[in-house]
Structure 1
Amino acid sequence: MRLIAVGDNVVDYYEDREEMFPGGNAVNVAVFWKRYGVEEVSYIGIIGNDEEGEHIVQSLVEEQIDVSRVRKVFGASGEAVVALDEQGDRKFVGSNKGGVQSQVKLNFADSELAFISSFQLLHTSVFSHLEKELPLLKQYIDISFDFSTNYEESYLELVCPHIKYAIFSGGELTHEECEALIARVHQLGTPNIIVTRGSAGSLFSDSKKVYSQGIIETDVVDTLGAGDTFVAIFLKEYAANGNAQEAMEKGAAAAAETCQRFGAFGHGKKRGKRIMIG
Structure 2
Amino acid sequence: MKLIGIGDAVVDIYQDQHRMYPGGSVVNVAVMARRCGAEHTAWLGLVGDDAAGQHLQACLVEEGVDISRHRVVRGSTGAAYVTLDAQGDRCFTGTNHATRVQSLVALTLNQDDLTYLRQFDVVHSCVSLNTSLERELSKLHGQTLSFDFSSPEYWTSDDLERICPLLGFAFFSGSDLSQAEIRTLVRRVHDLGVEVVGVTRAEAPAYFSYRGTVVEQPVYPATVVDTMGAGDSFIAAFLTHYLTEQAGLAPALAFAARYAAEVCGYHGAFGYGKQLD
Common fold: TM-score over 0.5: yes
Q: Which moved more, 1:46-55 or 1:110-119?
A: 110-119
Superposed displacement of residue 179, structure 1 = 0.8
Determine which of 256, 259, 263 is the counterpart of 2:268: 263
Superposed displacement of residue 97, structure 1 = 2.2
Determine the C-alpha separation between the residues in 1 that align with 2:155 and 2:196: 16
Determine which of 168, 190, 193 is the counterpart of 2:194: 190
- Alignment-derived partner of residue 238 in structure 2: 234
Amino acid at match of 1:153: S
Determine which of 141, 147, 150 is the counterpart of 1:148: 150
Determine the C-alpha separation between the residues in 2 that align with 1:17 and 1:134: 37
Q: Are the counterparts in 2 of residues 59 and 267 from structure 1 also a CA contact under 8 Å?
A: yes
Determine the C-alpha separation between the residues in 2 that align with 1:165 and 1:253: 21
Superposed displacement of residue 222, structure 1 = 0.3
Determine the C-alpha separation between the residues in 2 that align with 1:185 and 1:105: 27
Superposed displacement of residue 201, structure 1 = 2.6
Q: Which moved more, 1:241-250 or 1:150-159?
A: 150-159
Q: Which moved more, 1:60-69 or 1:106-115?
A: 106-115
Determine which of 247, 251, 259 is the counterpart of 1:246: 251
- Alignment-derived partner of residue 174 in structure 1: 178
Q: Structure 1: any 5+ residue segments left out of the alignment?
A: 273-278
Amino acid at match of 2:150: S
- Alignment-derived partner of residue 48 in structure 2: 48
Amino acid at match of 1:132: R
Q: Are the counterparts in 2 of residues 131 and 158 from structure 1 also a CA contact under 8 Å?
A: no
Query: CA deviation digits over 1:219-248, x for unaligned, max 9?
Result: 100001011000001011111214100000
SS at match of 1:113: helix
1:116 matched to 2:117? yes
Superposed displacement of residue 186, structure 1 = 1.2
- Alignment-derived partner of residue 276 in structure 1: none
Superposed displacement of residue 257, structure 1 = 0.3
Identity %: 43
Determine the C-alpha separation between the residues in 1 that align with 2:97 and 2:257: 30
- Alignment-derived partner of residue 7 in structure 1: 7
Q: Are the counterparts in 2 of residues 221 and 259 from structure 1 also a CA contact under 8 Å?
A: yes
Amino acid at match of 2:236: A
Superposed displacement of residue 151, structure 1 = 4.1
Amino acid at match of 2:237: I
Q: Are the counterparts in 2 of residues 5 and 123 from structure 1 also a CA contact under 8 Å?
A: yes
SS at match of 2:93: strand
- Alignment-derived partner of residue 89 in structure 1: 89
Query: CA deviation digits over 1:181-232, x for unaligned, max 9?
Result: 1111112221211111000031111113111001001110000101100000
Superposed displacement of residue 134, structure 1 = 1.9
Query: CA deviation digits over 1:105-156, x for unaligned, max 9?
Result: 111222221110111000000026321112211x142100000113411111
Determine the C-alpha separation between the residues in 2 that align with 1:229 and 1:244: 16
SS at match of 1:218: coil
Determine the C-alpha separation between the residues in 2 that align with 1:145 and 1:260: 26
Q: Structure 2: any 5+ residue segments left out of the alignment?
A: none
Q: Are the counterparts in 2 of residues 196 and 202 from structure 1 also a CA contact under 8 Å?
A: yes
Query: CA deviation digits over 1:72-115, x for unaligned, max 9?
Result: 01111110001111000111011112821122111122222111
SS at match of 2:135: helix
SS at match of 2:268: coil
Determine the C-alpha separation between the residues in 2 that align with 1:45 and 1:196: 25
Determine the C-alpha separation between the residues in 1 that align with 2:103 and 2:201: 28
Determine the C-alpha separation between the residues in 1 that align with 2:212 and 2:199: 16
